[in-house]
């Protein structure tokens, strides 16, 4: 067992580094996300935001530093390879992820997309999984699409199904990587409303987004990342209206 992380954060990053060959993408990122906290990550394209989320969800292993989830060190070099694989698979279920491009299973109906992991990974009975899937679809407003294949959905509906699918594993935290960037403008509000509801219900969230109005309303903290480092972080009002660093000011001037 790992020692409990002293700060009691839901997610704690300590000097997280990631390199791809000679490319130094994350240069030592330290961040804490407390239980129920909503953290919005902003920063220029290529600054390492997606890589950071992928390190938290263990889709990528950090090259250095520590990732702690609920007091457990994820990248513990003392674990053997097979033990580490088993451990990662268990931990991945605890951290849900929603991507820009939905990644739904095209050959499964909406309902089957939601039920798959609870049945196959959690061993839930089909009747229970179906009931829970329907409740989740209702909560994201797409229950009427339960028997449809993803190809027949709008982008906004696909993304709401993707959120429901991630929630079906009852995660402790949710990561969103530009969840509305691929959507037609009229679809954005519906997805953001689902995310806001989730935040108000107390979900711990890390959200990469360019939706500054959402960030201002929903985020507890905004983190500006550039060049693989945290440049500045603070309350949304402080970051958006009184950014301390020139790089933050320049970034905000470009996007606002």
Instruction: Find which of Mg ion, ligand ADP, none residue 23 binds, CB within 5 to 8 Å per kind.
Output: ligand ADP
By rule CB under 6 A, what string of x and - marks binding of each residue 35-74 to ligand ADP? Answer: --------x-xxxxxxx-----------------------
Q: Per CB under 5 A, does 50 bind Mg ion? A: yes
Which of 71-75's residues contact partners 24+ apart within 8 Å by CB, and which partners?
71/2, 71/4, 71/5, 71/8, 72/2, 72/5, 73/2, 73/5
Q: Per CB under 5 A, does 47 bind Mg ion? A: no
Which is nearer to ligand ADP, 48 or 150 (by Cβ)? 48
Residues 11 and 57 sit within 8 Å (Cβ to Cβ): no
Shortest Cβ distance from residue 174 to ligand ADP (Å)? 17
Shortest Cβ distance from residue 177 to Mg ion (Å)? 6
Tokens of 206: 């890390």
Residues 199 and 38 sit within 8 Å (Cβ to Cβ): yes
Which is nearer to ligand ADP, 6 or 21 (by Cβ)? 21
Which is nearer to ligand ADP, 164 or 226 (by Cβ)? 226
Residue with tokens 């201002």: 216
Q: Per CB under 6 A, does 248 bind ligand ADP? A: no
Q: What are phi and psi of 154, to 5 degrees?
A: -75, 165
């Amino acid at each position: 067992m790992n020692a409990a992380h002293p700060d009691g954060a839901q997610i704690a990053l300590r000097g997280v580094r990631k390199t791809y060959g000679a490319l130094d993408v994350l240069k030592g990122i330290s961040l804490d996300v407390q239980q129920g906290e909503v953290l919005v990550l902003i920063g220029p394209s290529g600054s390492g935001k997606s890589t950071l989320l992928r390190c938290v969800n263990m889709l990528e292993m950090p090259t250095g530093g520590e990732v702690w989830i609920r007091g457990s060190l994820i990248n513990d070099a003392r674990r053997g390879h097979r033990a580490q694989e088993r451990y990662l698979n268990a931990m991945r279920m605890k951290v849900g992820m929603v991507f820009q491009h939905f990644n739904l299973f095209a050959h499964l109906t909406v309902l089957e997309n939601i039920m798959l992991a609870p049945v196959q990974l959690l061993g839930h009975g089909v009747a229970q999984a179906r009931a829970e899937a329907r409740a989740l679809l209702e909560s994201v407003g797409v229950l009427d699409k339960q028997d449809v294949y993803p190809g027949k959905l709008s982008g906004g509906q696909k993304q709401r199904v993707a959120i429901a699918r991630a929630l079906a594993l009852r995660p402790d935290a949710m990561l969103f990587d530009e969840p509305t960037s691929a959507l037609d403008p009229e679809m954005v509000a519906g997805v953001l409303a689902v995310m806001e509801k989730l935040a108000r219900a107390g979900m711990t969230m890390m959200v990469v987004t360019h939706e500054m109005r959402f960030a201002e309303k929903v985020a507890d903290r905004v983190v500006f990342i550039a060049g693989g480092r945290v440049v500045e972080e603070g309350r949304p009002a402080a970051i958006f209206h009184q950014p301390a660093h020139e790089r933050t000011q320049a970034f905000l001037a470009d996007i606002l």
